[in-house]
């Protein structure tokens, strides 16, 4: 069994695992880096890390069109539920066995106001254990925090982390994050979408691979990485 990750640009991801299509933070409309459009993607589940516009994105439209269930924190699920979207609310530290794998919500240091100003609860990351036992950590928007060590203790096959700086960890702290997470593979995201978060990903890859045993998979928007 394989699990394939697609980076659609910015923080928008696709995961295909056990025949399920999972979208993460589906921001297509207004995303200058997007490799496709909200009307073209398929989804059985949509994972939302926090309420900011560049993450909740097109969740409502895609969920209504596809019938996908949105998984997020309780507050964001309440907001989406009032818009006729199917949801499954969880909260920090809580895991649940979904048909596609066991999904746990993790801490993230960030904000989470929804586009209309509604309180969006605490921002989150996701730790997914696929049906064939692969562990994938999706950090969401976050600054560096020491409890990444605890997440690393789970034994990560893949970590997807922001490196853009200004709104999230920059390259220096993201390198420190990799040292705590110790994933087999790492995919950097949330950079180069706008000038404010421009980074040299090739330089970051060289540093990470010189100082850790993790392999950096640099994707272009629309690019994929398969875990086997
Ligand atoms: Ni954000
Ligand atoms: Mn963001």
Three-state SS annotation for 64-100: HHHCCEEEEEHHHHHHHHCCCCCEEEECCCCEEEECC
Of the listed ligands, the closest to the CA of 189 is 2
Q: Check if the beta carbon of residue 131 is closer than 8 Å to that of residue 153.
A: no
Of the listed ligands, the closest to the CA of 112 is 1
Please compute Rg for the chain using Cα positions: 16
Residue pLDDT, tens place only, 144-190: 999 999 999 999 999 999 999 999 999 999 999 999 999 999 999 99
Q: Please tell me the distance between residue 11's alpha carbon and the centre of ligand 2 in angstroms.
A: 7
The reply to whether 104 falls in a domain is: yes
List b or e across 183-211, with b for residues whose CB sees 16 or more CB atoms inside 10 angstroms. bebbbbbbbbbeeebebebeebbebbeee
> What is the mean predicted confidence (pLDDT) over 130-149?
98
Q: Residue 228's pLDDT is what?
A: 83
**d(Cα 59, Cα 70) in Å, to the nearest integer?**
8
Q: Please tell me the distance between residue 107's alpha carbon and the centre of ligand 2 in angstroms.
A: 15
Q: Please tell me the distance between residue 56's alpha carbon and the centre of ligand 2 in angstroms.
A: 10
> What is the mean predicted confidence (pLDDT) over 59-88?
98
Residue 140: which of 28, 19, 56, 32 has the closest Cα? 56
The reply to whether 221 falls in a domain is: no
Q: Residue 126's pLDDT is what?
A: 99
- For 73, the token pair is 């924190």
> What is the mean predicted confidence (pLDDT) over 74-103?
98
Q: Residue 84's pLDDT is what?
A: 94
Q: Please tell me the distance between residue 86's alpha carbon and the centre of ligand 1 in angstroms.
A: 23
Q: Please tell me the distance between residue 132's alpha carbon and the centre of ligand 1 in angstroms.
A: 31
Paired with 223 in beta bridges are: 7
Q: Please tell me the distance between residue 55's alpha carbon and the centre of ligand 2 in angstroms.
A: 6
φ, ψ of residue 180 in degrees (nearest 5): -80, -40
CATH assignment of the domain containing 180: 3.60.15.10
Ion ligand 1 contact residues with beta carbon within 5 A: 52, 141
The reply to whether 140 falls in a domain is: yes
> What is the mean predicted confidence (pLDDT) over 22-32?
97
Of the listed ligands, the closest to the CA of 193 is 2
Q: Check if the beta carbon of residue 82 is closer than 8 Å to that of residue 75.
A: no
Q: Please tell me the distance between residue 1's alpha carbon and the centre of ligand 2 in angstroms.
A: 31
The answer, yes or no, to whether residue 11 has pLDDT greater than 80, is: yes
If 0-12 CB within 10 Å is exposed, 13-18 middle and 19+ buried, where does residue 39 land? exposed
Q: Please tell me the distance between residue 103's alpha carbon and the centre of ligand 1 in angstroms.
A: 21
The reply to whether 182 falls in a domain is: yes
**Mean pLDDT, the chain, as a whole number?**
98
The answer, yes or no, to whether residue 1 has pLDDT greater than 80, is: no
The reply to whether 197 falls in a domain is: yes
Of the listed ligands, the closest to the CA of 196 is 2
**Residues sharing a CB contact under 8 Å with residue 8, sequence separation 6 or more, in sequence order:** 14, 26, 28, 34, 35, 36, 41, 221, 222
**d(Cα 41, Cα 28) in Å, to the nearest integer?**
10
Residue pLDDT, tens place only, 194-217: 999 999 999 999 999 999 999 999
- For 194, the token pair is 């706008």
Number of domains in the chain: 1
SS3 of the chain: helix, strand, coil, percent, to 5: 20, 30, 50
The answer, yes or no, to whether residue 225 has pLDDT greater than 80, is: yes
pLDDT band at 130 (very low <50, low <70, confident <90, very high): very high
The reply to whether 63 falls in a domain is: yes
> Can you list the alpha helix ranges (DSSP code H) found in 131-196?
148-152, 171-181
- The residue range of the domain holding 56 is 3-214
The reply to whether 222 falls in a domain is: no
Q: Please tell me the distance between residue 132's alpha carbon and the centre of ligand 2 in angstroms.
A: 30
Residue pLDDT, tens place only, 112-129: 999 999 999 999 999 999
The reply to whether 223 falls in a domain is: no
> What is the mean predicted confidence (pLDDT) over 44-65?
98
């Amino acid at each position: 069994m394989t699990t394939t990750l697609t980076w659609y640009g910015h923080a928008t991801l696709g995961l295909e695992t056990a025949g399920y299509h999972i979208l993460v933070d589906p921001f297509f409309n207004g995303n200058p880096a997007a490799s496709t459009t909200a009307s073209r993607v398929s989804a059985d589940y949509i994972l939302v890390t926090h309420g900011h516009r560049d993450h909740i994105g097109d969740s409502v439209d895609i969920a209504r069109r596809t019938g996908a269930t949105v998984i997020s924190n309780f507050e964001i699920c309440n907001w989406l539920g009032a818009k006729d979207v199917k949801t499954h609310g969880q909260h920090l530290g809580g895991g649940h066995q979904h048909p596609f794998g066991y999904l746990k919500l993790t801490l993230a240091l960030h904000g989470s106001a929804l586009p209309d100003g509604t309180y969006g609860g605490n921002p989150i990351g996701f730790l997914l254990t696929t049906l064939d036992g692969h562990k994938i950590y999706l950090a969401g928007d976050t600054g560096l925090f020491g409890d990444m060590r605890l997440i690393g203790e789970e034994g990560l096959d893949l970590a997807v982390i922001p490196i853009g700086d200004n709104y999230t960890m920059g390259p220096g702290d993201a390198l420190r994050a990799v040292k705590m997470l110790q994933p087999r593979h790492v995919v950097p995201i949330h950079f180069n979408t706008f000038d404010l978060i421009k980074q040299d990903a090739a330089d970051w890859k060289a540093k990470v691979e010189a100082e850790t045993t993790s392999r950096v998979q640099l994707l272009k928007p629309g690019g994929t990485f398969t875990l086997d």
